[in-house]
Amino acid sequence: MGCDWPLSEASQWVDVGHQRWHVQRLGQGPGKGVLLLLHGTGASTHSWRALAPLLAPDFELLIPDLPGHGFSEPLPPAQRSLPGMARALGALLTHLQVTPHAVLGHSAGAALMMRLALDAPWTAPTLVGLNAALMPFDGIAGWWYAPMAWLLARNPLVPRLAAWRAQDERAVRRLIDATGSRLDARGVSLYAQLLRQPRHVAGVLAMMSNWNLQQLQADLPRLRCLLCLVAADGDLTVPPRQAQQSASRVPGATVQWLQGLGHLAHEEAPERVADVLLACLAGGARPRAAP
């Protein structure tokens, strides 16, 4: 890792069994406990680079690269499902002797957050999902998405071809623009660096091909946490209406709306997002009508 990687001064490597994790730890919040941050598919700890310093005065932050992403090693094939990744994350927390006070999950990281809360012997009191990817794709996309990802994940040439394509930052910018977000040159460059690593691309495909959300949806009514879903109205990756649909399945869940932002809202406008997230984490957020 280069010294210019975001928040690299907070990085450490943690071995749990045969799994090596890259995690970042920062912040000394005044007694509010540990906040676990979980990035989405294709991202890494870098995606929290601007938001984390805004949350650090209130919390101690624990930010891992998910297995196969960034600098964390991939899980064995049999453990790459949503429940398998949740178990691995639980083992990391046990190893670190950390019980989060709250969890913030972006996109697929929100699904992992909820699976962890449902399956772990403990649960964080507060969960916040940012542009949470909690529902299977609708219609025909739902039929071909997972099988296509499965096939791509098993072709060893695909990660190398994708990494070669990412040499062109214009292609990476188009990929980011398709999420409904607009990132600055530094943000695009960081994603390009990740996508130029075949191992990272392979980790992304492995996660996509093993992500089954039907069971998670069926289990949501069992969730007994304070849940706040934050949805950006310009998200082109996860339809914003899914926030209300998923919240309706969890007793007491609330939905907050971000105007004029896309799927990577926390990288576009970290100050605005921090205000909403801190209100959710404080338990003071109230449901807002959809725009």
User: pLDDT tens string for the chain (291 positions)?
Assistant: 566 899 999 999 999 998 999 999 999 766 678 999 999 999 999 999 999 999 999 999 999 999 999 999 999 988 989 999 999 999 999 999 999 999 999 999 999 999 999 998 877 889 999 999 999 855 434 444 454 454 444 556 666 777 778 899 999 999 999 999 999 999 999 999 999 999 998 898 888 888 889 899 999 999 988 999 999 999 999 999 999 999 999 999 999 999 999 999 999 999 999 999 999 988 755 545 455
CB 45 within 8 A of CB 63: yes
Which ranges of the chain does DSSP label H, i.e. alpha helix? 52-55, 82-96, 108-119, 139-153, 157-165, 169-177, 185-195, 198-209, 214-219, 241-247, 265-268, 270-281
* CA atoms within 13 A of residue 2's CA, in its CB half-sphere: 7
Q: Report the interhelical angle of 198-209 vs 157-165 (nearest 10°).
A: 120
Q: Which residues contact 203 (CB under 8 A, 6 or more apart)?
A: 66, 67, 68, 69, 74
Half-sphere exposure of 123 (CA within 13 A, CB side): 17
In this prediction, residue 150 carries a pLDDT of 46
* Three-state DSSP state, 62: strand
**Cα–Cα distances in angstroms (integers) from residue 258 to residues 53, 104, 195, 249, 266, in the given order:** 20, 16, 28, 21, 10
* pLDDT at site 137: 59
Contact 262, 235 (CB under 8 A): yes
Amino acid 152: pLDDT = 47
According to the model, what pLDDT value does residue 286 have? 52
Q: Which pLDDT score is estimated for 139?
A: 42
Count of CA atoms in the C-beta half-sphere (13 A) of 194: 26
22 token code pair: 């890259």
pLDDT of residue 154: 55
Q: What is the pTM of this model?
A: 0.92
For the chain, which domains are there?
8-139+212-281 (3.40.50.1820)
Res 153: pLDDT: 47
| Residue 282, pLDDT score | 86
pLDDT of residue 187: 97
| pLDDT recorded at residue 283 | 75
pLDDT at 120: 87
Distance CA 233, CA 242 (A): 11
Q: Which residues of 214-240 are buried (b: 16+ CB within 10 A; e: fewer)?
A: eebbeebeebebbbbbbbbebbebbeb
